[in-house]
Amino acid sequence: MALRVALSAFIALIVAMGIGRFTFTPQVPLMIAEHQLTLTSAAVVAAFNYLGYLCGSWNAMRTTSHVETRLKAGIGGAVVLTLLSACVAGPWLHGVIRFVIGWASGWTMVLVAAWSNEQLHKYGRPGLSAAVFAGPGTGIFLSGLLAVFLHGEQVSAAQAWIAYGVLALVLVLPIARYLPRKGELHRPETAPEPLVLTAALKKLVWSYSLAGFGYIIPATQSLYGRLVDHGICRRATCRAAGFCRFYHAYTSAGACALSGRRRTDRGRATGLATRFGYRVKQFRA
């Protein structure tokens, strides 16, 4: 049972985070090449994605009702909105979709973490939470491999969105029955204790904030800038080699994230479980 919970949560984060939230990254070069976006508008669309993630995470932390619905809507929304991205063009529509899918991934990240940590603690296997948090890195790695294949087939951005959406759907279907049912995640009527920003928690927040800068700027915006500076997104003669290098860099980032999670997240997950464990107790009847 514990293994099933961990696997379901792991796949949920692959779909919502690794595919739903992050596949915009390998899509940007194609969308720039097709004149759907510029480098500037791509950065704005990405910012909407991060804003949605922040809002969704905050909402998931503060919600007092329909918690299970939010979790399932977050996972399902990642699938549906990834597929819907194939039907729209232009920065504003993509910005709206990225904001909503960011919100969905925020719901999923917080609520899946709370649910899986509680269940794994219940079954005496808290160490499996490290595997759960390897989901985003695995999703980036898988979508990066798919991006390399799609590039080789010279598909359009719309066709690539469909491919990512179908992959997410295929991954979600086997675990749908194992997600928490109504009543398994809910807050009591009494208000939770206020969150105290201790010195240790402040260090954790700062470390994650700096990690965000360390990942987002070098792994996305800097790569986009290099593509544009070298004319790779504009000159057909340079696109093949440039896109190939970009996709391999993106895939390598996912592989490194997966490896790093497997090695370090056992200790980090223990610390997070303590914090989430406090929050998880608020979901108990």
Give the pLDDT confidence score for residue 181 in this predicted structure. Answer: 80
Give the range of the structural domain holding residue 201, as residue numbers without chain letter.
2-281
Query: What HEC string does 119-143 produce?
Result: HHHHCCCHHHHHHHCCHHHHHHHHH
* Cβ atoms within 10 Å of 194's Cβ, excluding its own: 6
pTM: 0.77
Q: Where are the alpha helices (DSSP H) in the chain?
A: 2-13, 24-33, 39-62, 67-84, 91-122, 129-132, 135-152, 157-172, 199-216, 222-229, 236-281
CA torsion 228-230-231-233 (nearest 10°) is: -50
The angle at the Cα of 156, spanning 152 to 162, to the nearest 5 degrees, equals: 100
Per-residue pLDDT 10s for the chain (285 aa) are: 888 989 999 999 999 998 998 899 889 888 988 999 988 898 899 889 989 999 999 898 887 778 888 999 999 999 999 999 999 999 999 999 999 999 999 999 999 988 888 888 888 888 888 888 888 888 888 988 898 899 888 899 999 999 999 999 999 999 999 888 876 665 555 555 677 778 888 888 888 777 767 666 665 555 555 555 545 454 444 444 444 454 445 555 545 555 554 444 444 444 443 444 434 444 443
Question: Residue 165 belongs to a domain with what CATH number?
Answer: 1.20.1250.20
Q: For helices 91-122 and 2-13, what crossing angle results, to 10°?
A: 170
Q: The tokens 């087939």 sit on which residue?
A: 153
Cβ neighbours of 221 (radius 10 Å):
16
Token pair in block for residue 274:
């303590």
Side chain identity at residue 156, one-letter code? S
Q: How many domains does the chain have?
A: 1
